[in-house]
Amino acid sequence: MVDTSKEELFQLIKRLRDFITVKMSNFISIFLQNPDSRSIGAVAGLALAIFFTWRMLRSPSGSQRRQRKRLATMPSNSGVSASSNAPVVPSGVCSTSDDASAQNVVDEFFQPVKPTLGQIVKQKLSEGRKVTCRLLGVILEESNPEELQRQATVRSSVLEVLLEITKFCDLYLMERVLDDESEKRVLVALEDAGVFTSGGLVKDKVLFCSTENGRSSFVRQLEPDWHIDTNPEVITQLARFIKYQLHISPVRIERTAANVFSASSLEQFFGSI
């Protein structure tokens, strides 16, 4: 019965820990977007609540401290035989094993919880609801339209992040191609990778054009919260029209604008590798 109660307490604390973690993540996201006095107060209040809860759970109660002190200073009775020298544990004092179990529960509660990929994606995108993304060099292994005339290969390492984005955002994929056959290869590759079945993406949201300017035009018409691209010229052209952009480049580049971020890959930006 005691073990069952401890297990129920442990599960309750774990649920509370996860709840606090999610709330803290949401508060931080709100604070980063709108750091006003109310959001600062909310984050500070939650942090103080967690700290004082930790102090309360970590510190033994006053009665337990007094009982342990009396036990340590209890005089021995010289009239008692040697066979009766076994330690006496007064009623109400927890055993060492019980103390250790309780401490383990508290320690487990305050272990840092690693956020899920979904939470990271949502936080990194700053609650953005619409995302546009080019295919070459980001979603596909190929890096230029000429390669698409021979083959199209979806990068396996990006799939998990891509599917998480489709859960939170209205995602549009786009690319410049040289012929209709290239379009078909791209759509087949995406379908074979499970993008249309596992995620919220449909074929109508995969757009094709014949020029780089055409892709820029798509983005401006869709007015996304985020655009992801590998072409620095496109990034520069769109910087003053799009709220946030992510420049994917294998080499480290200088930040060209306050609203332009950079990473070596989409999965690296979201920390999934």
Residue 181 has a CB neighbour count (10 Å cut-off) of 12
Residue 80 has a CB neighbour count (10 Å cut-off) of 9
How far is 160 from 117, CA to CA, in rounded Å?
9
Mean of per-residue pLDDT scores for the chain: 78
pLDDT above 70 coverage of the chain, percent: 58
Q: Please, which residues bridge with residue 226 across strands?
A: 131, 244
Amino acid residing at 46:
L
Q: Encode pLDDT of 45-94 as tens digits.
A: 666 666 665 565 555 544 455 555 554 555 544 444 444 454 554 555 45
Torsion of CA 256, 260, 265, 268, to 10 degrees: 120
Confidence (pLDDT) at 255: 84
Assign residue 45 a region (left: φ > 0; alpha: ψ between -120 and 50; beta: otherwise). Answer: alpha
83 or 251: which carries more pLDDT confidence?
251
How far is 199 from 174, CA to CA, in rounded Å?
17
